[in-house]
Amino acid sequence: MRGSAGLGGPARYLAHRFGADVTGIELTPVRVKGAEELTRRVGLQNYVRVIEGNVMQVPLPDKSVDVVINQEALLHVPDRERALGEAYRILRPGGRIVFTDWVAHRPLSIADKKLMWQGMAVASLYDLQDYAELVRKAGFTIFSVEDLTADWGIILKHRLAMYQKLRVEAEPAGTPAGHDAFYESYMRFVDLVNAEVLGGGRFTGENSDCP
């Protein structure tokens, strides 16, 4: 299961690369339809499905999946504790959760909080250890907590450069250059990561319920 599956790209990768059977959860109906069409085009419809739903109330049965994967999406969820609880509920005993997300090494200013909300709908942020405690509180046994901030700083600089190049190329072509609020917040995000105010974390845990 993936939370906020979007158009299903990572889900299709997991199916193609590892032969996994993947169910993605996506809140936006138009993205659900887009994911279905793209999945059909590459012939993976028997392995990948993206269904409409909310990760705070996942439309899957108890103990029905082996792995929950989430990639930088929980920061948009209003109640992260509830979402992690849902992940625990749908995992079989011994099932794993693996996810990456933003973390805050230092508190954001009021201006930066407002910018992150307006540009990228960032609901709330935790430091690494507080985030790990949320995972434990949901019932998981924690296997690892990794600080990805240094790696993210390098990657984000390259991604921002590519994005800026695309914006420049879009102007003479007369096509939209992208959402300005997102662009402004993304530039600031890259600066904050490289200043180690914000960063990234990878968390791995297990549902340790006895079968």
Per-residue pLDDT, 176: 65
Euclidean distance between CA atoms 152 and 144, whole angstroms: 18
**In this predicted model, what pLDDT tens digit does every residue of 82-119 receive, in sequence order?**
999 999 999 999 999 999 999 999 999 999 999 999 99
Q: Is residue 4, in this structure, part of any structural domain at all?
A: no
Q: Is residue 115, in this structure, part of any structural domain at all?
A: yes
Quickly state the pLDDT bin for 179 (edges 50, 70, 90). confident
Could you give the number of structural domains in the chain?
1
Per-residue pLDDT, 205: 96
Residue 80, judged by CB atoms within 10 A of its CB (0-12, 13-18, 19+), counts as buried
Q: Is residue 44, in this structure, part of any structural domain at all?
A: no
Per-residue pLDDT, 143: 94
Residue whose tokens read 């434990």: 136
What are the DSSP calls for 171-194, one per residue?
HHHT-----HHHHHHHHHHHHHHH
Q: Is residue 21, in this structure, part of any structural domain at all?
A: no
**Between residues 183 and 176, the one the model is more confident about:** 183
Q: What is the pTM of this model?
A: 0.89
**In this predicted model, what pLDDT tens digit does every residue of 2-60 receive, in sequence order?**
456 788 899 999 999 999 999 999 989 999 999 999 999 999 999 999 999 999 999 99
**In this predicted model, what pLDDT tens digit does every residue of 48-85 receive, in sequence order?**
999 999 999 999 999 999 999 999 999 999 999 999 99
Per-residue pLDDT, 209: 80
Q: Is residue 25, in this structure, part of any structural domain at all?
A: no
Euclidean distance between CA atoms 63 and 88, whole angstroms: 8
Euclidean distance between CA atoms 103 and 192, whole angstroms: 11
Give the mean pLDDT of 121-125: 91
Q: Is residue 45, in this structure, part of any structural domain at all?
A: no
Q: Is residue 20, in this structure, part of any structural domain at all?
A: no
Per-residue pLDDT, 177: 60
* Per-chain mean pLDDT for the chain: 91
Structural domain boundaries, residue 75: 54-206
Q: Is residue 12, in this structure, part of any structural domain at all?
A: no
User: What's 179's domain CATH number?
Assistant: 3.40.50.150
